[in-house]
Amino acid sequence: KTRRNAKKAPWKIFKQLVNWEYVAKISEPEGFVRFTNGSEIQFDGVEIPDNLRGDGLTKLVLEEYASWKDGKKIWDQVLRPMLGDRNGRALFVGTPAGYNHFRDVYVKGLDPKEKEWSAAQYTTLDGGIVSQEEIDAAKADTNPRSFRQEWEASFEQLANQVYDYFDRGTHVKDTALAGDRLLVGIDFNLDPMTCVIAQKDEKGDCEILEALELNYSNTDELLEEVEKRYPERLFTAYPDPSGRSRHTSAGGKTDFSIIDDRPRWKVDMVMYRKSIPLADKINNVQANLRDANNHSHVTIHPVNGVPLIEAFEGLTYVEGTSQPDKTGGKDHVSDAGAYLLWGAFNRFKHKGSIGTFAL
């Protein structure tokens, strides 16, 4: 949300409700109010999260939190620390938008073990503002899933979800690090650079330990970060095939050669030397999530794997097409996971040679 959006409805309501006798200073362009007792209110947007950093907060309202891009990261890294020194409180408000970061905090509020959290649900139907005629018309014009989400505040899986076999109850599980070689799927993109780090379990299935997203980064920095997080481990990389000729780092070297030149890494390309067909890539992820016998072959760490969890839940097709929607930014880390599964956990047989590619 931008500052302009932050000031639309909340600012209008504030001006209607405030007792102006207690207002000492107000700046509508800046969305700022100071009261005669020294208290302050700031209406702001989150399009540039670092601009929010500053003095501590006593109370915080996260409006339309479900629609925030990188909402979990902004909360964890920017906003929550600002509440710490004052023991402040936060209120998350929004309309459900699938299984994303807003649902995560709502579920936490329902958990009796989370003593500092609580959750409440207020639907349009409960509000008494919308007429029954309008409600009946919406039911007639809207599919059941959308009606439950928009009118009944229900968290629904997206209808056009690319990886619709993904299920948190099945695929999100805590996993301990084991073995000395890890498998890393990499998507080459400057902002963000992404990778998915995994290991094979005793059955040969995929246990995803972590999903990393580094903003304004390059291949060298990504590899260094992985090595720092997993010291003394060896790594087999399953990168985006474009890395054979693509350069995301300085020095003129390709991304593949950068990986292969590092002592603890090797590039293992169990795929064609050309791009993977989109349908095959998606179908292989789906088959790992659930095969024809309803068996799952992949798990994801509940904390360290959050970027991939959110991507699998949130990546959708462009309406009316079979092309994933790239505008939400969820395609990068999901592609890193797809390259990993294609190279190391391929559940399809393909024509052509299969082998190791090294520079």
Residue at 242 is within a domain: yes
Residue at 158 is within a domain: no
pLDDT at 351: 38
* CATH (domain of 321): 3.30.420.280
Number of domains in the chain: 1
Residue 263 lies in a domain: yes
Residue type, 320: G
Task: Give the phi and the psi of residue 173 in degrees, each rounded to 5.
Answer: -145, 145
99/309 Cα distance (integer angstroms)? 9
CB 180 within 8 A of CB 233: yes
200 within domain boundaries: yes
- As to burial, measured by CB atoms within 10 angstroms (0-12 exposed, 13-18 middle, 19+ buried), residue 321 is exposed
Q: Which domain holds residue 280?
A: 168-344
**pLDDT number for residue 55:** 76
Consecutive 10-residue averages of pLDDT for the chain (359 residues): 59 87 90 92 85 85 88 90 91 86 89 90 88 87 80 81 92 92 92 95 96 92 96 94 65 82 85 74 94 92 92 89 88 96 82 35
**Within a domain: residue 161?**
no
CB 218 within 8 A of CB 249: yes
The DSSP call for residue 265 is E
Return the C-alpha torsion angle 153, 156, 162, 166, nearest 10.
140
